Amino acid sequence: MPDACVKLDYTLACADAVGPHGLAPSDFDSDALARIYDQARRVAPQWGFTQLPARLDSADALVGLGDTLAKECDDFVVIGIGGSALGNITLHASLNPPSYNLASREARGDRPRIHVPDNVDPVLIASLLDTLVPERTCVNVIAKSGSTAETLANFLVVRALLEQGVGAGWTDHVVFTTDPEKGALRALGRELGIRMLEVPPNVGGRFSVLSPVGLLSASVEGIEVKALLQGAQAMLERCQCADWRANPAFFNAVLHYLFDVRKGVRMNVMMPYAQSLREIADWFRQLWAESLGKCVDRSGQPIECGLTPIKALGATDQHSQVQLYVEGPPDKFTTFLHVDQFPVTTTITPAFKDEAAFAYLGGRTLNELLHAEEKATRAALAKAGRPSVTISLPAVNAYYLGQLLFMFELQTAYAGELYNIDAFDQPGVEQGKIFTYALMGRDGYADARRELEGMQLSNPQCVIA
C-alpha cells in the first residue's frame, strides 16, 4: 500500500490567518482536551465500527459473492435508506466514472449497472422498475432492524416484479443484509432460504459503510474492497497516537467543537473539489447530523447541540453558495476536500487568441483550473475572515477513500465525547418511525395514532388554497 496519507491542513482556521473569527491558542484548553482524548482512546475499541477494518479475512467471501452476483445480473439494485444506502452511493460515485451505468457492460469490466434509489418516491421507483429485466436483476435488501418501513415497502414492490418475471425462483435473485439473529428480514430469509449477510450488532447504519452493508455492492461493481479496509486500518493506526494534537480525526473534531462553543459557528460546510467526491458530503451529512444532534447530554442535562452539515461542491457552488459564505453571517466553518492528482488530464484547446477572455486559458488544463478555483475560494474566505480546513487526498482510489471515510467516522465519535453525548443513538429519528407506523396502520401503534389525531396537523384556517 502507498506510504502517502490523507492530510489535514488547519492553517486557515487560525486567528492569525483569518482574524477574530479564527481560533487562537487561548481557545484551546490543552489539559481538558488531553483528558477527554484519554477517555476517548479507552472507549474507542468498544465502538463497533473501529473493528471493521481488521476484517480482511472475511473480505474474500464477500468479494466471491460479489463476483458471483455480477455474473448473474445486468442490474444490481440496493434497497435501503439512510445509512443502508448512502455509503453504497458514496463508494459507487467516488470510485467509478460518472457515466458508469451508461457505459457498455464490457466498458464496466463485465459488471452490472448499480442502482441505489434511497427513497420511496413513487415516480422514482416506478421509473427504475421500467428499466429492469427480472431475469437479469439481483437485489440487495438492507435493514439492520429488519423492519424499516421504506426498505420493506420497496422490497415488496421489487419482489412482485421479480416474481412476475421468474416465478418461485425470485428468491435466488435476492440477498438480505440484516441483523444476524433477529428481525423480520432474518426470519423471512430463514424461511425462504434467501442468501443473507450480517450487519454487526454493534455497528449502526451510519457507521456501516465498511461492513457488508456497503461492501457487497462495492464487490459487485469490482471496487477493491481490501484496499478500502486497508486504508481504514491505516487511518485507525494513525489515530492511536498518544498526543491528541497528532490525531487528525480528534484534532478536526476539536476544531469543530471549539468553533461551536467559542465562536458560535454551528454550520459545517463540506466542499469537495472533485466531482467524484460529491456524494461524500451527502454521506457525511447523515453521519454528522444524526450522531451529534441531541437535546440532552449523557447525564440527562439539556444541551441541544449539533452542527448543521451543509453540502457544497467546487467549483459549482462558487456560483451558488459562496456569496453567502463570504459576506453572510460568520456562522460557517468550511471543510475543503482537495485531490492532488486526478486520473486524467484534460487540456484546454487554444482558440481565439486575440481575445483576452480566451487567450490565457489555452494550453492550460482543467486540472489546473479546478485547483486554482479551490485555492481562490479558500483565499476569498480567509480574506473575509471566514475559517476553513483542507483535507487532501493524494488521489481518489479505494485506499485513500477508506482512510477518509474512517477518519470522518472517528471524528464524529470523538465529537460525541467532546460534547458528552451519545453519538450512536437517534431518538428523534425513532419518533418519526413510530408516527409512520401509526399512519400506515401497523398493529401495536394505536396510541401513536391517537396522539397524531390530537395534534391537528392540518389546520384549514392556515391553508392557502
Nearest to 115 by CA among 103, 105, 101: 101
Instruction: Spot the catalytic one: 221, 290, 409, 417.
Output: 290
User: With contact defined as beta carbons under 8 Å apart, do 382 and 376 qualify?
Assistant: no
pLDDT of residue 4: 81
User: Which amino acid is it at 395?
Assistant: A
DSSP assignment string, 441-463: T-TT-HHHHHHHHTT----GGG-
pLDDT at 462 over 60: no
* Percent of all residues in the chain with a pLDDT value above 70, rounded to a whole number: 97
Segment 144-198, tens digit of pLDDT: 998 899 999 999 999 999 999 999 999 999 999 999 999 999 999 999 999 999 9
Q: How big is the chain by its Cα radius of gyration, in Å?
A: 24
Residue 433 annotated as catalytic: yes
Q: What residues does CATH 3.40.50.10490 cover in the chain?
A: 7-45+229-419, 50-225
Cell 428499466 locates to 131
Segment 44-69, tens digit of pLDDT: 999 999 999 998 888 999 999 999 99
pLDDT at 461 over 70: no
pLDDT of residue 453: 85
Q: Please name the helix (run of DSSP H) or strand (run of DSSP E) that holds residue 309, with its range, or none.
A: strand 308-311
The x, y and z cell numbers of residue 181, run together, are 439473529
Segment 192-248, tens digit of pLDDT: 999 999 999 999 999 999 999 999 999 999 999 999 999 999 999 999 999 999 999
pLDDT at 429 over 90: no
Residue 290 annotated as catalytic: yes
Backbone angles phi, psi at 396, to 5 degrees: -95, 100
Question: Between helices 398-419 and 86-95, what is the axis angle to 10°?
Answer: 140
Residue 371 annotated as catalytic: no
| Other Cβ atoms closer than 10 A to 134 | 19
Give the pLDDT mean for 380-384: 97
Instruction: Spot the catalytic one: 181, 191, 319, 355.
Output: 319
Q: Edge to edge, what strands does the sheet with 137-143 contain?
A: 113-115, 75-79, 137-143, 174-178, 195-198
CATH of 7-45+229-419, one of 3.40.50.10490, 3.40.50.10140, 3.40.50.720, 3.40.50.150: 3.40.50.10490
In sequence order, the β-bridge partners of residue 195 are: 175
Instruction: Spot the catalytic one: 7, 371, 375, 433.
Output: 433
Question: Considering Cα of 249, then 255, then 258, then 264, what sign does the dihedral take?
Answer: negative
Segment 108-124, tens digit of pLDDT: 999 999 999 999 999 99
Note the Cα 320 to chain centre separation in Å: 22
Close Cβ partners of 3 (under 8 Å, ≥ 6 residues apart): none
pLDDT at 430 over 60: yes
Question: Which CATH number is associated with domain 50-225?
Answer: 3.40.50.10490
**Taking all residues of the chain, what is their mean pLDDT, rounded to a whole number?**
95
